[in-house]
Amino acid sequence: MLKVSNLSISYKKINAVREISFEIREGEIVSLIGSNGAGKTSTMKAISGLIKAKSGSILFNGKEILGMSPTQIVSAGIVHVPEGRQVFSKLSVGENLQLGGYLTKDRKVLKERMDYVFDMFPILKERIHQKAGSLSGGEQQMLAIGRGLVTGAKLLLLDEPSLGLAPIVVEQVFEVIQTLQQNGMTILLVEQNALDAMAISSRTYIMESGAIVMEGPSEEVAENEEVKRIYLGGKETWVSSLHN
């Protein structure tokens, strides 16, 4: 569905991302993990058109999207749910969701998508008239994902969805991601929470200093001694404990 080849991104003179290649197949969750500054967010921003890449290619369903504007990329069916939620805090929950449908002219389709989001996140329906900025962190994350879904995207780029959330809420977010996949969504997941990300994804890429240093099926990557040492620190989290 998405094929990234030899993608390089640089800021001024610094190469943030160097010649990376990876692939996401329809219906799968792929996790992209790595330490801070490894280039994960830059990679996502290049896919969604927020920043320009230096070279490489990004094919979405066989079509080159590198160089397209963010608007064109959203129309093509990719939505980026950014780190730190980034909801429109002074607008109401309902308006935030409507703006997800900014490019959707068909009102009936828009209504269906809104209903789908309200089904998945009933709390958003309860808070529809509330300002988005007044929601809790977890609710804002649900709203950011919901707003992404209203765009009608086929590929969801989730940047650190669990960052800064309470453990119980993190659990809910990971459940939501799995539900979305079951409903047919394809997801690229960038996470600090490496173990949880690997537990729900089929394949994992590990990024270090702008390059992909390891890739493979998530359970294999998770078993790698080096990965365990660096990212997991031997800790168990809720998902891994379920798997034991």
Partner 1 sequence: MGFFTAQLISAIKLGSIYALVAIGYSIVYSIMGMINFAHGELLMIATFSLWVLMNAGIPFGFAVILAIIITVLFGIFIEKIAYRPIRNAGESTQIITSLAVSIFLEALCQAIFNSSAKALIIPAFFSKTFKFLGVTVSVIDVVTFACTVILTIVVVLIIQKTSVGKAMRAVADNPEAADLVGIDRNRIITVAFIIGSVLAAVAGILYSGKYTSFSNDMGFMLGVKAFIAAVLGGLGSLTGAVAGGYIMAVLEIFFSGYLPGGVASFQTTFTFIVLILVLLVRPNGLFGSNNWKRS
Q: Does 82 bind partner 1 (CB under 8 A)?
A: yes
Segment contacting partner 1 by CB under 8 A, of 3-11, 35-43, 52-60, 143-151: 143-151
SS3 (DSSP) at 230: helix
DSSP H or E segment with residue 55: strand 55-60
Pick the binder of partner 1 from 21, 28, 70, 123 (CB under 8 A): 70
- State how far the alpha carbon of 235 is from the alpha carbons of 174, 195, 242, in Å: 18, 9, 13
Q: Does 209 bind partner 1 (CB under 8 A)?
A: no
- Cβ proximity to partner 1: between 151 and 181 the closer is 151
Q: Does 146 bind partner 1 (CB under 8 A)?
A: no
Pick the binder of partner 1 from 35, 61, 98, 240 (CB under 8 A): 98
Pick the binder of partner 1 from 6, 89, 179, 241 (CB under 8 A): 89
Q: Are strands 29-33 and 203-208 parallel, antiparallel or unpaired?
A: parallel
Q: Does 71 bind partner 1 (CB under 8 A)?
A: yes
The encoded tokens of residue 1 equal: 């569905």
DSSP H or E segment with residue 109: helix 107-120
Site string for partner 1, 149-188 (x = CB under 8 A): --x-------------------------------------
Return d(Cα 160, Cα 22) in angstroms, integer: 19
Q: Are strands 29-33 and 186-191 parallel, antiparallel or unpaired?
A: parallel
Task: Report the nearest approach of partner 1 to the CB of residue 99 (Å).
Answer: 5
Return d(Cα 60, Cα 75) in angstroms, integer: 12
